[in-house]
């Protein structure tokens, strides 16, 4: 974070406070200041009528390898971190995932430390959930899709008794501004400037993250359960720029290899440096 507010110039209009996409501007007894959650986007400069917001010399460090290592060290993570970056064409040198494959299974390999970066498209997806992940639907005919639903999803002893309940939970999640052709999925140490990252955490690690997120702002992290893991993990951080946690669903937990005491946390990448720096400043840092 390098942005700061010159208190002598600030006329307390609240423009920066209302428009910061990270919720990084603090208001304390009428005075505005910039917190560690600032990612140097520069939006606030254009909102300030009196030129009170300045950019200092230091810049937020988004180095993916340093962030990967710092998260693993500070949270004592034992598993890999997935980085996801949307794009309409495969980044140079990144192979297409040919499929059919599952988003959650690709993530599971990365959590296990085995995955390498791939460009994953809706066409290569084995699951219709890819539309909830923002990359469109698989190229399967309706008979094939119905057979898969009957085998694993709908019916007694499965996930829903009736087809009509499958999409009921979608109303809780934001819609993507567009469906992308695909997304780069890979271990964070090999993906620069992803859109979001996600990884398995225990409740204790989740509490450490949420405390660091709330430290200066009081913002809370909400979570979901009961819907497919992709719809819980991807749209909220990508579209709303907020972290989210979830327990995953049966298929997602199974294919991604989540352990019994693990859930998933998903964080917009631009918020990660602030959370990392605040991890050193909470009660958990003194344990």
Which of 26, 33, 41, 166 binds ligand SF4 (CB under 6 A)? It is 41
Which of 4, 29, 52, 148 binds ligand SF4 (CB under 6 A)? It is 52
Separation CA 24–CA 217 (nearest Å): 7
Residue 62 Cβ, how far from ligand SF4 at the closest point, in Å?
13
> What is the token pair recorded at 176?
């993507």
Separation CA 82–CA 113 (nearest Å): 10
**Is position 42 an interface residue for ligand SF4 (rule: CB under 6 A)?**
yes
Which of 33, 43, 202, 241 binds ligand SF4 (CB under 6 A)? It is 43
User: Of 26, 3, 22, 5, which Cα lies nearest the Cα of 217?
Assistant: 26
The β-bridge partners of 83 are 186, 197
CB 269 within 8 A of CB 121: no
Separation CA 146–CA 209 (nearest Å): 40
Helix orientation angle between 203-214 and 272-279, rounded to the nearest 10 degrees: 100
**Is position 10 an interface residue for ligand SF4 (rule: CB under 6 A)?**
yes
Pairing of strands 31-34, 82-87: unpaired
Which of 4, 8, 15, 211 binds ligand SF4 (CB under 6 A)? It is 15
- Tell me whether residue 205 or residue 277 sits nearer to ligand SF4 (CB atom): 277
Residue 240 Cβ, how far from ligand SF4 at the closest point, in Å?
15
- Tell me whether residue 40 or residue 68 sits nearer to ligand SF4 (CB atom): 40
Residue 76 Cβ, how far from ligand SF4 at the closest point, in Å?
28
Which of 36, 48, 185, 234 binds ligand SF4 (CB under 6 A)? It is 48
The β-bridge partners of 31 are 28
Separation CA 201–CA 261 (nearest Å): 8
**Is position 267 an interface residue for ligand SF4 (rule: CB under 6 A)?**
no
The number of CA neighbours under 13 Å toward the Cβ of 183 is 29
Instruction: Give the interface segment with ligand SF4, choosing from 33-41, 115-123, 157-165, 193-201 (CB under 6 A).
Output: 33-41
Three-class HEC string of 241-277: CCCEEECCCHHHHHHHCCCCCCEEEEEEHHHHHHHHH
- Tell me whether residue 30 or residue 93 sits nearer to ligand SF4 (CB atom): 30
User: Of 206, 256, 247, which Cα lies nearest the Cα of 224?
Assistant: 247
**Is position 275 an interface residue for ligand SF4 (rule: CB under 6 A)?**
no
Residue 44 Cβ, how far from ligand SF4 at the closest point, in Å?
3
Residues 37, 42, 48, 53, Cα dihedral to 10°: 70
**Is position 25 an interface residue for ligand SF4 (rule: CB under 6 A)?**
yes
Which of 47, 126, 153, 181 binds ligand SF4 (CB under 6 A)? It is 47
Residues numbered 80 to 119 that lie near ligand SF4 (CB under 6 A) are none
Instruction: Give the interface segment with ligand SF4, choosing from 13-21, 178-186, 220-228, 276-284 (CB under 6 A).
Output: 13-21
Residue 206 Cβ, how far from ligand SF4 at the closest point, in Å?
24
Residues 210, 215, 217, 219, Cα dihedral to 10°: 20
Q: Residue numbers of the site for ligand SF4 (CB under 6 A)? A: 3, 5, 10-16, 20, 22, 24-25, 32, 34, 38-44, 47-48, 50, 52-53
């Amino acid at each position: 974070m390098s942005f700061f507010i010159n208190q002598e110039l600030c006329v307390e209009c609240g423009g920066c406070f209302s428009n910061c996409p990270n919720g990084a501007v603090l208001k304390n007894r009428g005075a505005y200041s910039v917190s560690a959650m600032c990612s140097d986007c520069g939006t606030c400069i254009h909102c300030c009528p009196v030129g009170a917001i300045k950019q200092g010399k230091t810049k937020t460090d988004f180095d993916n390898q340093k962030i990967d290592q710092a998260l693993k060290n500070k949270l004592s993570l034992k598993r890999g971190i997935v980085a996801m970056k949307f794009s309409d064409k495969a980044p140079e040198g990144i192979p297409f995932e040919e499929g059919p494959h599952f988003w959650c299974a690709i993530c599971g390999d990365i959590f296990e430390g085995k995955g390498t970066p791939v460009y994953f498209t809706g066409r290569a997806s084995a699951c219709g959930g890819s539309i909830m992940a923002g990359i469109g639907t698989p190229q399967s005919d309706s008979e094939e899709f119905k057979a898969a639903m009957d085998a694993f999803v709908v019916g007694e002893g499965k996930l829903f008794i009736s087809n009509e309940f499958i999409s009921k939970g979608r109303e809780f999640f934001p819609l993507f501004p567009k469906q992308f052709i695909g997304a780069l999925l890979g271990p964070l140490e090999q993906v620069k400037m992803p859109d979001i990252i996600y990884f398995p955490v225990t409740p204790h690690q989740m509490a450490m993250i949420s405390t660091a997120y709330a430290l200066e702002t009081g913002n809370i992290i909400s979570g979901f359960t009961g819907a497919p893991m992709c719809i819980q993990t991807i749209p909220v951080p990508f579209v709303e720029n907020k972290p989210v946690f979830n327990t995953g669903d049966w298929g997602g937990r199974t294919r991604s290899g989540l352990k019994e005491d693990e859930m998933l946390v998903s964080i917009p990448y631009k918020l990660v440096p602030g959370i990392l720096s605040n991890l050193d400043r909470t009660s958990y840092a003194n344990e």
